[in-house]
Chains A and B, each alone.
Chain A
Amino acid sequence: MSAHEDDPILDVRDLRVWYGTGGDPVRAVDGVSFQIGRGETLGLVGESGCGKSTLGRGVLGLLPDAAAVTGSVRFDGRELVGAPAAEVRDLRGPELGLIFQEPMTRLDPLQTIEAHFREALNTHRPELGKEEVRRRSLEALAGMGIPRTRFGQYPHEFSGGMRQRIMIALALVLEPKVLVADEPTTALDVIVEAQILGILADLRRNFDTAILLVTHNLGIVAEACNRVAVMYAGEIVEEGDARELFAEPAHPYTRELLRATISLETTGLNYIPGAPPSLIDPPPACRFHPRCPSAMRVCADLHPIEVRAPAGQRVSCWLHGPEGQIPAGGREPLERREFAEAEEA
């Protein structure tokens, strides 16, 4: 279909990230697959605690030692899961960049902006001379609208929006091919949010950078992403073209998420009853079935199988079949008492 499927720069298959907590592991990411092509932006949405930030870090190999990672993350054909730590580290920065949710604390308070840039460039481009390092840094900062006079200043002398732009400049000065943006605008006001989204859009257009945009804000996805993946309880439940998916959501969770979005036309607030499930002991079969308004009997018994929805997206939901796999009587509505149980849990 589109270019990304022939030659994805980032190809994640059946990725699992489990945190050992002594007893049962926390299944933060549980069998996730997606691809991103060059110059493409994939939005990753879901509620808080669904594992989307873990997924973003897992791509960069930035997880704590206690995390067990299985599956495959291929960057430009190179396998990162199980690769030596030093090898993955060398990719972080010049190939895989990361920008964070909370810009206020991401810069070392004891070091100038200049020192941050010098460290990043000296690490990955040791051949560059002092003047060249300075020139590139100032250029990256200028691109983010940070004047050169502030190069020698310390992080506390900048506002939150400026710090986020500095963080982005710091990521971009290394010219990464893939940028993971973990809720980059959540902590910022709407004006700065628009600026940052504009910057990301320029990046995609001008440098063909692939972006994984992690967010819980569907408005941002609609504005900034080509494709969107919806994550629920460690799994991707639906993934496809952003426009089509929003026009015709196939998974009940996506539908409910869209219904819960607030706009000027909103007259009442919609929410999804219940809370995101525990990732230590997630509900059996379809993880959304305790909260799902369209739950059927089969949803509580069997894990859904990924199918193509009519609008073209991938979706894991029994509503869309495959018909042959649903046992007799599986389409009967699920009785609600289980929902009450799950809510209490």
Chain B
Amino acid sequence: MKESSGSSGLRTYVLTRLALALPTVLILLTVVFLLMRVAPGDPITAALGARLPAKELEKRKEEAGYDKPIISQYGEYLGQVVTLDLGESVTDNRSVTSILAENGSATLELTVAAFMITLLVGVPLGLMAGRYRDGPWDVGGRLYGIIIYAFPVFFLGFLFQLLASQFGWPTSGRASPLVEYDLDSITNFYVIDTLLQGDWSAFWDVLQHLFLPAFVLGLTISGVLIRLIRVNLLQTMRGDYVEAARARGVSERRVVINHAFRNAMVPVVTVAGLQFAILLGGAVLTEETFNWPGIGSELVRYLNQRDYIAVQGIVTVFAVAVVIVSLLIDLVNAFIDPRVRYR
């Protein structure tokens, strides 16, 4: 059905965008690498300086390649990234890959769940607020947006923990200790793992643990989303094509959903996607509050111990994740908006 510029335009756009992501990643990696080396001294001395004899330190430095010129260190670093082997943390000898697998998956699981709650709360409320301007939904939605945004996550977290503990609802960790002990890590996403094992009581236990932190984190961002959707919808509701559709007698419901809402979502997708990217690294407060073994709290721990290798590895993955998310945003936008893929 689609002629000429329809789907082939989309394909060209996707390929171009993918090709453009590579240099972006390279630049980011370089920045991460350089940042880690601006600090005086080397990572080994920084982390272990006072704890090991000088000889042992030298040996470790040689092993890690810190005696080599910076350019060959850079080459090695890039090589590590490509082979997905980001070395071992200095302080506790965990491989960065396993840190990511264990703690990264916890964060990703939390973030995805929180984001689903954000969408579930934010999209309908934003839609109602924009659709019925100055009505009860709008006033309520705006008020909610402000209040929820003003509450610090840990305050909201404690509040809900207090409430939940009254009903015996779990308020900390990813699963009950026994469930966690029995769990075979296949994907490291507990929700998926328990499902794969077909263990329904474990699945329910994991879901219960996930709900509270995801709910708190999700609510926090939903305030921004409501306001964003509202303001964009108010704008598109005044759009010329919306009036034109009304002039053709299209029902108000259809006008709002087919024209105003879809057009309002174009900028929302971008901002919501970036919010998601920020969440990946910025869920530290929620993770701390709910004792959630996420990557954010691990990063803070390694930073405090000045374990630069672990930090470098985690930050590298964050950087790549942000690039991937923004790539996804662009692809979604191209899918929604034909003008994006037209150029």
Binding site for B on A (CB under 8 A): 60, 62, 89-94, 97-98, 100, 102, 105-112, 114, 119-120, 123-124, 149-154, 156-157, 167, 170-171, 174
Contacts and interface: CB of A to CB of B under 8 A. Distances in A.
B247 A119 contact: no
A123 B239 CA distance: 20
B267 interface: no
A119 B337 contact: no
User: What 4 pairs across the A-B complex have the smallest Cβ distances?
Assistant: A93-B249, A92-B249, A105-B240, A98-B247
B249 A110 contact: no
Given A60-B247, A100-B244, A110-B262, 8 more contacts: A62-B247, A89-B252, A93-B247, A93-B248, A100-B243, A107-B244, A119-B250, A124-B249
Contacts of B336: 110
B3 A123 contact: no
Contacts of A93: 247-250
A123 to B, nearest CB: 5
B249 A109 contact: no
A321 B252 CA distance: 49
Contact of B241 (A109, A151, A156): A109
B246 A62 contact: yes
Contacts of A171: 248
Contact of A92 (B2, B240, B247, B266): B247
B243 A62 contact: yes
B104 to A, nearest CB: 36
A141 to B, nearest CB: 13
Nearest to B3: A152
A96 B343 CA distance: 38
Contacts of B60: none
B241 A120 contact: no
B5 interface: yes
A109 B3 contact: no
B342 A156 contact: yes
B304 interface: no
Contact of A170 (B248, B254, B337): B248
A62 B5 CA distance: 35
Interface residues of B, number: 30
B239 A105 contact: yes
A150 B251 contact: no
A123 B247 CA distance: 12
Contacts of B1: 114, 152
Interface string B201-244: 00000000000000000000000000000000000000111011
Contacts of B316: none
Contact of A100 (B240, B266, B339): B240
B245 interface: yes
Contacts of A98: 244, 247
A39 to B, nearest CB: 22
B338 A119 contact: no
B170 to A, nearest CB: 44
A150 B5 CA distance: 10
B61 interface: no
B240 A106 contact: yes
A107 B241 contact: yes
Given A110-B336, A170-B248, A119 B3 contact: no
B204 to A, nearest CB: 41
A97 B248 CA distance: 7
Contact of B258 (A94, A119, A151, A167): A119
B6 interface: yes
Nearest to A100: B244
18 contacts: A60-B247, A94-B249, A106-B244, A107-B244, A108-B241, A108-B259, A110-B266, A119-B245, A119-B248, A119-B250, A120-B249, A123-B251, A152-B1, A152-B3, A153-B3, A154-B5, A154-B342, A174-B248
A89 B253 CA distance: 12
B251 A106 contact: no
A90 B239 CA distance: 21
Contacts of A111: 258-259
A55 B15 CA distance: 51
A108 B337 CA distance: 11
Nearest to B266: A110
Contacts of B254: 119, 123
Contacts of A105: 239-241
Contact of A156 (B244, B266, B338): B338
Nearest to A182: B247
Given A89-B251, A152-B2, A108 B245 contact: yes
A336 B231 CA distance: 50
Contact of B246 (A92, A94, A107, A156): A92
A91 B4 CA distance: 36
Nearest to B262: A110
A149 B3 contact: yes
B118 interface: no
A106 B95 CA distance: 58
Contact of B263 (A91, A102, A110, A124): A110
Contacts of B4: 153
A1 B239 CA distance: 43
Interface string B13-36: 000000000000000000000000
A110 B1 CA distance: 16
A106 B241 contact: yes
